[in-house]
């Protein structure tokens, strides 16, 4: 067995796992698939152990492979963080921050909070990607994002919430919807008489709604499923359907009076929270630490709903 782990070969293993198959990784890296297969084979020879199980569905890590990939992720994160800290010795004139967030946080983040931070630190660059709750948490756990903004995530032992605020899940309807005329908090059974437009179940809002519906034993009539907020809200403007989101996520639409956020009288939905998360134990660059503190105090999502 080799005395040291060959990081060059480990990189090819990581790329194959990340892409799902040797072929997909080869396409991404623009190299021949045989190059990746040979490097993985050499890595297995170095360690006298099998690291992947190959099948028509792609590659699956063995227990040893899992340990190697986790080691590589940690090594890469430490390397990236060190580079950021070295840049910070020049006064935050350069640096890069990766943010993963739920779509409902986009308008809030991209408004005054991030604008003010960019004005203060113009040399920083950002990678901002929207995804479902489960995907955001995965990216934080795997160190492919520094900061995550998520709604009502499930507990993760390696995730730390740096800011939270109760943001009840509301019924979102067009401004002239019949439900708005009731003028009071709604019962879930009243809302679910209408057709539902919903995000995929990987989104925190939908996981919460599904739980509430199961608690009350109420079926949902799902007329539209989409991961696009633009598609969702365009649909609502032209139908008497309903979707669900915290009020802060549609602040612009509320101001324009295009949509309405109606309170729901349900214990499960009233207690939902917005979270700003990082990976527990990760040594974050100073630029990221300052961004976390800034967002926690300036974003509407982390101000308790009125």
Q: Is 5 helix (H, G, I), strand (E, B) or coil?
A: coil
| Structure confidence at residue 282 (pLDDT) | 86
C-alpha dihedral (284, 285, 290, 291), degrees to nearest 10: -80
| Residue-range definition of the domain harbouring residue 173 | 169-270
Query: Tell me, what CATH number does 181's domain have?
Result: 3.40.190.290
Q: Identify whether residues 211 and 155 lie together within a single domain.
A: no
pLDDT < 50 positions in the chain: none
**CA-wise closest residue to 276 among 78, 73, 100, 80:** 100
Whether residue 190 is contained in a domain is answered as yes
Whether residue 33 is contained in a domain is answered as yes
| Structure confidence at residue 89 (pLDDT) | 53
Please write the tens of the pLDDT for every residue from 1-53: 555 788 888 888 888 888 888 888 888 888 888 888 888 888 888 888 888 88
Q: Please provide the distance, in angstroms rounded to a whole number, between the alpha carbons at the two ends of the chain.
A: 62
C-alpha dihedral (63, 66, 71, 72), degrees to nearest 10: 140
Query: Tell me, what CATH number does 132's domain have?
Result: 3.40.190.10
CB 306 within 8 A of CB 188: no
- Give the residue ranges of DSSP H helices in the chain: 7-19, 22-29, 33-47, 63-88, 106-110, 112-120, 133-141, 188-191, 204-216, 229-238, 251-255, 267-270, 286-298
| Structure confidence at residue 121 (pLDDT) | 87
Whether residue 154 is contained in a domain is answered as yes
| Structure confidence at residue 129 (pLDDT) | 95
Q: What CA–CA distance (Å, rounded) separates 127 from 263? A: 34
Whether residue 17 is contained in a domain is answered as yes
Q: What CA–CA distance (Å, rounded) separates 95 from 6? A: 28
| Structure confidence at residue 119 (pLDDT) | 92
| Structure confidence at residue 2 (pLDDT) | 55
Q: Identify whether residues 298 and 283 lie together within a single domain.
A: yes
Q: What CA–CA distance (Å, rounded) separates 236 from 210? A: 20
Q: Identify whether residues 296 and 160 lie together within a single domain.
A: yes
CB 101 within 8 A of CB 172: no
Count of structural domains, the chain = 3
Whether residue 31 is contained in a domain is answered as yes
Sign of CA dihedral 146, 286, 297, 279: positive
| Structure confidence at residue 306 (pLDDT) | 62
């Amino acid at each position: 067995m080799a005395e040291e782990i060959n990081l060059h070969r480990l990189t090819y293993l990581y790329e194959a796992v990340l892409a799902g198959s040797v072929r997909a990784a080869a396409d991404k890296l623009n190299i021949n698939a045989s190059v990746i297969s040979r490097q993985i084979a050499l890595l297995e020879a170095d360690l006298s152990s099998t690291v992947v199980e190959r099948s028509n569905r792609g590659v699956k890590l063995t227990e040893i492979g899992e340990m190697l990939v986790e080691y590589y992720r940690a090594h890469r994160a430490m390397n990236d963080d060190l580079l950021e800290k070295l840049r910070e010795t020049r006064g935050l004139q350069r640096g890069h921050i990766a943010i993963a967030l739920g779509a409902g946080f986009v308008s809030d983040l991209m408004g005054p909070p991030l604008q003010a931070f960019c004005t203060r630190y113009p040399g920083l660059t950002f990678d901002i990607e929207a995804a479902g709750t489960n995907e955001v948490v995965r990216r934080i756990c795997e160190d492919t994002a520094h900061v995550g903004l998520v709604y009502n995530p499930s507990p993760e032992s390696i995730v730390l919430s740096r800011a939270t605020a109760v943001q009840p899940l509301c019924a979102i309807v067009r401004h002239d919807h019949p439900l708005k005329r009731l003028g009071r908090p709604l019962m879930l059974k009243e809302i679910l008489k209408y057709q539902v437009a919903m995000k995929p179940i990987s989104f925190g809002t939908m996981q919460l709604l599904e739980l509430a519906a199961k608690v009350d034993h109420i079926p949902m009539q799902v007329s539209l499923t989409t991961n696009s907020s633009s598609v969702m809200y365009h649909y609502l403007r032209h139908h008497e359907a309903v979707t669900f989101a915290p009020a802060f996520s549609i602040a612009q639409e509320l101001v324009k009076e295009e949509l309405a956020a109606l309170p729901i009288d349900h214990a499960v939905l009233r207690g939902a929270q917005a979270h700003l998360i990082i990976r527990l134990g990760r040594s974050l660059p100073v630029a990221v630490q300052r961004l976390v503190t800034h967002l926690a105090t300036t974003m509407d999502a982390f101000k308790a709903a009125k």
